[in-house]
Amino acid sequence: MTDTTLIQLKEEVKAVIIKTLNINKINPESIDTSAPLFAPDNPFGLDSVDAIDIIMTVQKHFDVRIADQNLARDVLESIDTLAEFIHREKSK
């Protein structure tokens, strides 16, 4: 995957999360893709219920499967880890 394609995928992931959670107050360009999604000061203000919504939407939107809770925890660490997971799954 080229750097450009990965950057585009990260932007798409940000847009999907923002749309899914109906977060209108965040500018996608201002989001640090390496920042933890579920840290106390994360840009989205996410909680565990949001994690379920994100998993369901990502699986449907990108046609990938996040098989278990441990995998989900790793995949949802940041926009970077989520985009890298999607890329790996789509490359199989």
d(CA 36, CA 60): 23
pTM over 0.85: yes
To which H or E segment does residue 74 belong? helix 69-75
The answer to whether residues 75 and 81 touch, using CB atoms and an 8 Å cutoff, is yes
Of residues 86, 66, 77, 73, the one with CA closest to residue 6: 86
In this predicted model, what pLDDT tens digit does every residue of 48-73 receive, in sequence order?
899 999 999 999 999 999 999 999 99
Q: Report the C-alpha gap between 39 and 74 in whole angstroms.
A: 13
Query: Tens of pLDDT along the chain (92 residues)?
Result: 577 899 999 999 999 999 999 988 888 888 899 999 998 888 788 888 999 999 999 999 999 999 999 999 999 999 999 999 999 999 88
As for how many domains the chain has, the answer is 1
Q: Residue 9 belongs to a domain with what CATH number?
A: 1.10.1200.10
Domain residues for the domain of 83 are 3-91
